[in-house]
Structure 1
Amino acid sequence: MALSHRFARPLETIALEGVPEHAVPAFEAAFQTICATVGYFREEPAETWRIEGVREQGADDTELAGALALAALMTGFETPELLRAETEADGWLARTITAFPEQPVGRRFLIRPTHVPNPVTYGRVVLRLDAGLAFGSGEHASTQGCLLAFERVALRRPRRILDLGSGSGILALAAAKLLHRHVLATDIEPWSVRVCAENARMNGQAQRMRASLADGWRSPRVRGPYDLVFANILARPLCAMAKHLAANLAPGGTAILAGLLGTQARMVLAAHRRCGLRLERRLDVGPWTTLVLRRDSR
């Protein structure tokens, strides 16, 4: 789906200011429920954050209000006044295209948006997708951290793979294309599942990737055991699901966890250590952290 097809209606930018660092992931996720693209910016000298999202004008605010209320409940931060401004679609699209060029990640991957040419590329796995269609277009530090962690984990050649909370499906795509394995990609949002399936077809991986609607580990179709689980979600849901993750990892299996700030890493790690998983590696990309955890082979 081209970016220009996505924005036939006028756009508006919505924003929250003064968001404390620990609340950024939750409010960013709330914006992602209704916004085509979301960004966050550190406010100096207060060391708080501004979160911005672009969406179509006239969209129903009910879903956003519910998502913001949930974020406030999770973080204890009362939602400030929502700021709104009109945004010219053509100008925003041009800026988005400029801001989302072809992007190499690590030694193995190349993220290539659909507005640039797609020549045969040797030495890298090309992941073809657009920014703003669903979370996970490669520009976010948590996605980059997962791909960097996966480069090393891929050397073990895991066979049974799950991308939990897949968003755009970028991590499932990386696994399917690099390892030539079947991958299950699940998300709680129907829109994300549709985008994930579209990206699988666009990348020639429709036979290997299965995009499915599921609420975490609650669906029977998600049950393991898995040799590799990606979970690029948020810190508190990761903690809440630690027991289920450990139960669904095969002996010797690996979990790549992200969507957490560096200040939240200790909390997430402690929850998973209590369930018998051990830390193999930690990667920090800016303020965001990726944890690589393993279950003992015995």
Structure 2
Amino acid sequence: MKQVTISNPFITLIVLDYGAVIQKLLVKDDEGRYMNVVVGYNYPSQYPSDTASLGACVGRYAGRISNGGFNLDFKNYTLPTVNGIHLHGGNQGFGKKHWTIEEVNHGDEPFVRLSYFSKHLEEGYPGNLKATVTYKIRNNELYIIHEATTDLSTVVNLTNHSYFKLDNENSIDHYFLKLNCPKKVETDKNLLPTGKLTPVSGTEYDFKSARQIGKTRFDTPFATDDDSSFAAMVYSKRSGISMEVHTNQRGMVVYTPKGFPAICFETQNFPDAPNHPHFPSSVLRPNETYRNASIFKFDLVT
């Protein structure tokens, strides 16, 4: 297992070739001390037994797919399921694969690019898929750029699954959160989309104005607002660290795990889009390039 470190005066990033995992992301707090703002293991050897996708690139399809698969171009594709649900790419999704380190650059805008080749019908998905993820740091911003090409029409939805923890407290209740997401994707008891988008106004998920998270907990797909400068913003007054999430994706799953204090911002397409024709399309055709470009911008608040 290989480990790559890139850094500039604002950010230090440590990435693994296993799962294209972000193991550590160090930014400065309001006293100038470096703080790791993602949850991760100390040792790379611990990641193969991880069940929470800590910092991993999730694919070939991030999120849930219903009906045991999907139909594409009048052909049914069966995917592995647990209790009828296909999650995060199946039994051995991209977060459990060894990626190839394609390039490391330590220049003015350091980056590391990794790739993974997913063979036709791996986990049931059609097409030989070449996926890449580029982690780049520019000033106080982390760029995460997922790209993919295929030789046969397929579906793809890649995201990074980092759990952000902005201070050393044992809670996120005091974090302030703003979501430029006027609607969420309605889900059923199994967290599968019903096909409806519902307004967040008047619900516990209304964070259109910044407020403390409090007791709200999330496993919630939101529809991002195309007209907003950022999709999400979160900050802790106890560390002074704030983070904005910018993305070209139509969806963002906000997730707070039960076992530890942290919050995920999974920028992606809507879950189960292959089974909801009116959702933004997740279909990738030959000669097209899938691209998920997201930016995580860090700053200090008083």
Question: What band does the TM-score fall into relative to the shorter chain?
Answer: under 0.3
TM-score of the two chains, using structure 1 as the length reference: 0.26
TM-score of the two chains, using structure 2 as the length reference: 0.26
